[in-house]
Every structure is written in structure tokens, then in C-alpha cells.
Structure 1
Amino acid sequence: MLGIIGGSGLYQIDGIKILDEIAIETPFGEPSDKYIITEYEGRKVVFLPRHGKGHKYPPHLINFRANIWGFRKLGVNKILSISAVGGINPSLKPGDFVISDQFIDFTKSRVQTFYEGVCSKNDDTEIKDEVSEFLKNKRVVHIDVTNPFCPEMRDVLIKVCDKNNFPFHQKCVYAATEGPRLETSAEIKFLGLIGADIVGMTLVPEIVLARELKMHFASISVVTNLAAGISQNRLTSDEVVEMMKEKNEQIKTVVLDFIENLPERFNCECENVLKGAAI
């Protein structure tokens, strides 16, 4: 089943039927909000507003572990992340879609694993798999993130954007920063020098935690503005909000086409990430 993480109201799209709203309790605390259970073209899809309805939580206070664990409890094994980012690469323009294929992590205070050895929480699901085994036995786990994004899901996103003639870039490096402040121009210059194309505050540890649970994960971002020092103007939250509103209909088209074209079976290694990863 597919889970989609994005802004509030993303699930309010013509053709998507809302079946239920479910509050989930997890060993890691409360998720950002209730999970919206929907159906589209005979497929169930679970939506979660990353920051909570009304944008209650800043990036550094999002309970990423609870969010991802809640998806697991609902049977989700694929996650599509939708977010706003700043553009670093000069080839990117505000309004462009970006389908990341790598990330660089500069977050500072976020818990990035479910597997904490002797401090691990117990699995409160009824799923019997490597995840439950590793948590029960207090294992320490080091997952491979050489290629962090699911190639099958990325391929669908690429085809969807191409079919709709949306401006997009399919090979980009996402630099994840702590926030909630925006970056300095010196930081952006440094990120550009080490290969970052875009900058945002939510991808990590979201993707890492999903991967730890053997989930397939892909990300599509909207370049809402040019990053500090590249833009000639003072950066504001207003321009981010306005650009996301402007792109709202295109984002909804991407979501519907993505759901319709997502294959039932994947030919990738995402679900094998825990093999040989535990000590």
C-alpha cells in the first residue's frame, strides 16, 4: 500500500474518496496528525500531513519516527514524499519539479534510527519480519544507503512529469539542513561546492527511517525559490507558500498519475536492505 507525506489537504483531490481518519499511537510518540485513509481507482492510499494540519510543527520538531512507524502499522510499504525546496544549482528555476536521487545530511539533532540496541522500543505491530526480530533482540543495525531512493518509484515519477510536460530534473542531490532558520549564503555556497542541487529541511531522517523498515521511498520536490546568496532578494516564507499554491494543480496531477501507474510488484532491492545489516 502507498503512503503519501505532504502538505495539509493534499488528499482533497477530485476522484479520491476519503474512507477514514485514524489516530495512531506508536512506541515513539504521536505522529504529526491523523492518517487519512483514501481510495482511488480501487487502490487504497494513506495520506499524512508532515507538519500536521495547519502547519503545527517546525521541521526540527516533526516526530519522524512516529510518522513512519504509523505507516508501518497501517500496512504501508511504499512512501511518496512531497516537499518544498530551495534551488542551489543554477539550472533550476522556481516552479521546477525535482526528483532527487541522492542526499547529503546536515541535520543535527534528529533521531535517525529505530534500532537503538539495548534502548530499542518493542514492536507494537503484529508484523513478523526482520524489523520485529531486530527490535525484539535489541540488535544494532547499519543499513546501506548507497542508492537511497527506490528506482522503480523514481521511474514512475519521471514518466509522469514527462507525460504532462512539467518542467523537472531527474538527477539531483538534496541537502538536508536542520532549520527552522534558512541557510546563510556561505552555507549555500559550500553546499553547492560539494554537489548539492537543492536544499530542504524534511527529507532526513524521513527517508532513512522508511528504509530501515524496508519501505520503498521516492521524493518529488518543488523549487519554491532560489537559495540564499543565489536569490538577489530577501528570502521569505510567503514566497514558498505562494509557489506551492501556484503548483497545487500540477502536484495533484502528479499524485493521481503516480497512483495510477505504480506497479503492484517492484524489481528492486529496497526490501532487502536489512539482509546482513544487523550486528
Structure 2
Amino acid sequence: MLDTMIAVIGGSGIYDIDGLDGAEWVKVDTPWGEPSDEILTGSLAGVKMAFLPRHGRGHMHTPSSVPYRANIDALKRLGVTDVISVSACGSFREAMAPGDFVVVDQFIDRTFAREKSFFGPGLVAHVSVAHPTCPRLSAACLEAGRAAGIAMHDGGTYLAMEGPQFSTLAESKLYRENWGADVIGMTNMPEAKLAREAELCYASIAMVTDYDSWHPEHGEVDVSDIIATLMGNADKGREMVRRLPALLGSERAPCPHGCDRALEYAILTAPEARDAQMVAKLDAVAGRVLG
């Protein structure tokens, strides 16, 4: 049995979490550069916790400049076992209204300006992201959110766009009507892919702030309305997080869905052909299978 360590990556509007015992901001060095910020560590109800503000305190990083690889590597180095992404999103569905939370289970990745893998020339690996979120962890988030009185939607497809601009009306209609996306955001990719490469269970909670630009009665995205909804969502998100330690427990059994064994057969490069510098950089992410 491992010790459970829950990491929360907070998006727009969530820059810390309250009530941690022994709370301390720690600096973590990674071979992939500096993470978005220092990481807040502590415990909640006897379970170890970590919190990373995705955009940095003060919101310094754009969706494209977030150091995704450094963030995931840093969490892995700290001993994190479970990652919960909390992020703002727009909705393509009338029923997924501003203030609701969506437990994402699929992604469409439309980002193009980001490094999407820890692996590369000299050390090649292919992990499966057919099911990119962890059902066990997602179910715990769903239960915690409902217990907190939040309107939760079980399942949804998240369209990850590059940004930082919001969608055109034509794009919004395409994603909604032709592609079957449910929500749209700018930050869950490549984060979810990297978490899978790092053998971390990953759940995505999309907090709806607006209807993007498709809705005939709501018109284009209004940033002032988004900010107002963000503040309410942030309080709900903290309440959901406070309920997670009791659901997940302090002892961590192997993931029944294999998230923590994603690299078992993923590395294709023969041991004698592996780039030594790449192997060294992957000591935290893939040390379990690289020896």
C-alpha cells in the first residue's frame, strides 16, 4: 500500500486551498524547468495534499505558457498519487449551466503550441489515452461535489483549444453541433496526457462559467460575467476538495483501471539504444520502468 497524496491543480479563480494542516509552500526543481509556482503542501483529514496554481499566484501564465511538463513532474517528485484538475470552462449544452460542474471523461485536443510528451527522440514511448481520466478518482469527485450541494454532471467531452482568445461563433457551433463536445477550455491538454505518462490518476472537473458564443440568448462571452461566476465556483470547488480525503482514504491501493501502470509496455526504445540524458530527465516520471 502507498500513502495517498492528492494534488489539486487549480485553474482560473482558484489560487489556494483552505484548512491544510502544516501548510507550507515548497519549491520543487525539475529537469523540465520551473513549475507554474511553488506548491502548497500539507494534510487534510489525515491525508497528504498538494496544491498547484496552474497559472501561478497572481495569474501570470497564459494557457499556452503554462509549464505543463514541469508541473506534472514536480507533483510526481513530491509523491503525488492522484491529480484533480479544477478549471473554468464554457458550455455547449443548455443543461450544463453556469455554476454547474462537469466531471470530464473525454477530450478533443485542438492545442498546437505546447510540448505534449515527456518522451521523444532517444526514448520513445506510446501510452493509451483512450480513456484519459481515472474512473475511480472521477467517481470520488462526483460524490464529493454532490455532497457539497453542487450541480454535478457525470461525464462530458472537453474541447481543449489553444487560446488565449475565445471561440468564434462558427467554431463554437462546429464544436457543439458537429463534434459533440460538451464544454470548452484551454488548459486540460496536454496536462491529462502528461499525467498518464507519469502514471498518475487524473480527474478533470470543469466549472462552467458561460455558454461560449453559440447560445442565441447569451451572445458572446463576457469576461465580467465569467469573473463573477468564477468567484462562486471557486468556493464550491474548495468545498468539494475538502470532502475528498474522507472518500479516498490515507492508504492507496493500486488503481483498478491501471493508470499507475500506464508505462508497463509503453516504452519501445531498446535499453541499449536509450539516450542517457533522456533517461536522467525521466527519473521521476518513468523511473519505475526505466530502473
Q: Matches of residues 228-239 of structure 1 in structure 2 within 5 Å?
A: 228-230=213-215, 232-239=218-225
Residues 10 and 252 in structure 1, CA contact (< 8 A), matched pair in contact too? no
Compute the TM-score of the two structures, normalised by the length of structure 1.
0.88
For 1:90 and 1:234, how far apart are their aligned partners in 2?
A: 15
| Residue 186 (structure 2) aligns with | 201
CA deviations over 1:221-257 (Å, ceiling 9, x no partner) = 1100001122533313222221111223221110011
Matches within 5 A, 1:155-166: 155-166=139-150
Could you tell me which residue of structure 2 aligns to residue 124 of structure 1?
none
| Equivalent position to 1:257, from 231, 239, 243 | 243
Q: Secondary structure at the match of 1:81?
A: strand
Percent identity at matched positions? 33
Superposed CA offset, 1:166-199 (max 9, x none): 2111110000000101011111111111110000
Q: 1:112 aligns with which of 101, 116, 123?
A: 116
What is the identity, as a one-letter code, of the residue corresponding to 1:240? I
Q: Which residue of 1 aligns with 2:171?
A: 187
Letter in 1 for 2:243: D
Q: Could you say which residue in structure 2 is the equivalent of 1:278?
A: 267
Tell me the distance in 2 between the aligned counterparts of 1:240 and 1:75.
Answer: 34
Cα 1:53–1:267 change in 2 (3 A) is same
2:33, 2:148 → 1: CA distance?
Answer: 40
**Mapped partners of 2:225, 2:21: distance in 1:** 31
Distance of 2:61 and 2:15 partners within structure 1: 17
Q: How far 1:75 sits from its partner (Å)?
A: 1.1
> Could you tell me how far 1:10 is from its partner in structure 2?
4.7
Q: Unmatched 5+ residue regions in structure 1?
A: 119-138
Give, in angstroms, the shift of residue 22 of structure 1.
1.2
Q: How does 1:48-127 map to 2 (within 5 A)?
A: 48-118=52-122
Q: Which amino acid aligns with 2:139?
A: D
- In structure 2, the residue matched to 1:21 is 25
Letter in 1 for 2:264: K
The equivalences for 1:21-40 within 5 A come to 21-40=25-44
Q: Which residue of 2 aligns with 1:132?
A: none
Q: How far apart, CA to CA, are the structure 1 residues paired with 2:85 and 2:221?
A: 24
Is the CA contact 1:18–1:36 (under 8 Å) kept in the aligned structure 2? no
> Partner amino acid for 1:213?
A
What is the TM-score normalised by the length of structure 2? Answer: 0.84
What is the CA–CA distance in structure 2 between the aligned matches of 1:237 and 1:52, rounded to whole Å?
A: 20
Q: 1:9 offset after TM fit, Å?
A: 5.7
